[in-house]
Structure 1
Amino acid sequence: MLFATLPLLFAATALASPLHQHSSLYKRACATGPDTAADFVKYTGYSTPALNAVTPPGYTNAYTNLQASSNADGYGGFSVLSTYDVAGCAAQCTSRANCNAFNIFYERAPAAANSNCTSSATIKCVFWTGAVTPANAKNTGSTQNNFQIVIAGSNGYVASAIAPSAGYAMPVYLSNNAVQAPLDCNGKDTYLGFQTFNATFDASRCAAACSAQAAYALAHPPSDGSKPKTCQFFNTYVESKNGVAQDQKCVLYSQTWGKSVATNTGYAYGQDVYSVGMSYAYSNATDAGVCTKA
């Protein structure tokens, strides 16, 4: 059956910080080196594993050795690791139905009450449904009871199935909603059609379709001398029929649209219900096709 191994429908998008999640339940190691927040973030014992980490098969590296963790779309929990194990973190993500990205990092936290340490270092593996990106790696920590929690050696990885092809920006996760684009600022339709693929979900197919449409439009400009209408944005998702995945849709547009117009959750046809899942939106990295008032 098509898409049998894919997550069909996800929970609603959520933004969450992993810093405060059940931290007291886990055993931590003492922080190594001078015991201040400033020394923690610059300690080479934390940066070296991050810099030397090998990108695991099936994933694309999104960022390396940041001093911040991601607040991405679709928080899926976390686990605590005994070592900085990127491959192990990836394996956990792969085993989770709704995990399409993960972030691994060292976190400075207060030591346990019965510990001889002043602070401790926890290695966290955090799971996300949406992509982790440098743009959403904004969580630099917090201060709790006069103790400064900070992040070091933070690496982010995105599943290859949703990683963008060359020329396209990182995806925006739309959960179970597809783009329902209105007319642009000049009252023009930006919809350029769609393609359907009956195979394992892979966003790169849509990137190729969008690029091919743009190339064709430029090579065959309108006879009236108007500007060619090229693909600058696409929305791809899994379409399901009565809860069973049917195919991957790639819907092409000449302009980038935001989450506010992702209002299409599916439709009913007779006794059948068609729904949207695993929906992502991608923009041209150099020209998002922003509308300019004529």
Structure 2
Amino acid sequence: MHFATLPLLFAATTLASPLHKQAYLVKRACTTGPDTATDFLAYPAYVNTASNATTPPGYANTYTNLHASSNADGYAGYTTLPTYNTTACAEKCTASKNCHAFNNFYERTAVSSSFNSSCTSTATIKCVFWNGAVTTANAVNTGSTQNNFEIVIAGSNGYVASAISPATGYSAPVYFSNSGIQAPLDCNGKDTYLGFQTFDANFDASRCAAACSAQAAYALTHLPSDGSTPKTCKFFNTYVESKNGVPQDQKCVLYSQTWSKGVATNTGYAYGKDVYAVGMSYGYSNATDAGVCVKA
């Protein structure tokens, strides 16, 4: 469903960065009850539009029609739109090398008397862009109160580029920015590194998930001769390696334990006159067994 738009007006925002000087506002007839935050959240047009929104090609839908927006890793800016349009959001995200996910939603916005409406509030339609994945787990921004006006979020949908979307059997990715895992020994002084695989630079995390699962399956069918517990892949870090700024390949580094962003300290290296750098780095854990170390 499309909504009529009025001349651009200034609008409040709950995001960390300043809103553009001008923003589209969506006029809303206040016929469903008092013009309150609760009424805004229940407004049928917002619910229907979000629930029936198209999942753009190249993206996976991670949540639909929430009353919260994401607070994810790698904030990459936002824009406002005259209508709720996931396709337009996706096009803007795809056009940016720093965007791998986006969140489309309605934000309750205060209006001035010049808005000429029976409502004291309206909606700003936002597309917020992220480097890291948007998931139900990080959809925690439910709004705020500013000058006694309650800002809330309605019709919030999340989308992640298919290349980084959670692989079957693995958790949602954790974004490590431009650093790869440099894993120390585990809590028992053991090495958790299980090797790596290299693919072309067309990033696709599912290739690493398949490599991790294959290693685990092989280890379980080829038990150590000394009777020790086999080391199976429970976590992988994948990133694009660049040479002098040009993407070369995708690395899939496998581990028997999940590691956090705190040990993502590998930013690359120099070899002669060439500089190799890490970019678009993500970590994925096995969804049923993340490989948490237990002190022996």
The two structures have a TM-score, normalised by structure 1, of 0.91
* Superposition deviation, residue 232 in structure 1: 0.3
Structure 1 equivalent of residue 6 of structure 2: none
* Superposition deviation, residue 199 in structure 1: 4.2
| 1:105/1:153 contact within 8 Å kept | yes
* Structure 2 unmatched ranges of 5 or more: 1-12
Q: What pairs up with 1:184-263 in 2 under 5 angstroms?
A: 184-263=186-265
Structure 2 equivalent of residue 161 of structure 1: 163
CA 1:56–1:65: 2 relative to 1, 3 Å = same
| 1:103/1:155 contact within 8 Å kept | yes
Secondary structure of the structure 2 residue equivalent to 1:68: coil
Amino acid at match of 1:25: Q
Q: Distance in 2 between matches of 1:168 and 1:290?
A: 15
Give the length in aligned residue pairs: 279
Amino acid at match of 2:112: A
| 2:24/2:81 contact within 8 Å kept | no
Q: What pairs up with 1:137-176 in 2 under 5 angstroms?
A: 137-176=139-178
Q: What pairs up with 1:110-149 in 2 under 5 angstroms?
A: 110-117=110-117, 118-149=120-151
Question: Structure 1 segments of 4 or more deviating over 2 A?
Answer: 16-21, 29-34
* Superposition deviation, residue 23 in structure 1: 5.6
Q: Distance in 1 between matches of 2:93 and 2:112?
A: 28
2:2 maps to 1:21? no
| 2:180/2:265 contact within 8 Å kept | yes
Q: Distance in 1 between matches of 2:202 and 2:292?
A: 31
Structure 2 equivalent of residue 31 of structure 1: 28
* Superposition deviation, residue 19 in structure 1: 6.9
Q: Distance in 1 between matches of 2:225 and 2:160?
A: 43
* Superposition deviation, residue 30 in structure 1: 2.8
Q: Distance in 2 between matches of 1:238 and 1:44?
A: 43
Q: Distance in 2 between matches of 1:113 and 1:24?
A: 19
Amino acid at match of 1:220: H
| 1:133/1:156 contact within 8 Å kept | yes
Q: Distance in 1 between matches of 2:229 and 2:216?
A: 12
Q: Distance in 2 between matches of 1:17 and 1:224?
A: 58
Higher relative contact order structure (alpha carbons within 8 Å, sequence separation ≥ 6): 1
Q: Distance in 2 between matches of 1:175 and 1:128?
A: 11
Superposed CA deviations along residues 146-174 of structure 1, whole A, max 9, x for unmatched, are 00000000000000111121001110110
Q: Distance in 1 between matches of 2:239 and 2:282?
A: 6
Amino acid at match of 2:40: F
Amino acid at match of 2:134: V
CA RMSD, aligned part only? 1.5
* Superposition deviation, residue 267 in structure 1: 1.0
CA 1:111–1:245: 2 relative to 1, 3 Å = same
Amino acid at match of 1:65: N
CA 1:32–1:141: 2 relative to 1, 3 Å = farther
Amino acid at match of 1:22: L
Q: Distance in 1 between matches of 2:54 and 2:23?
A: 26
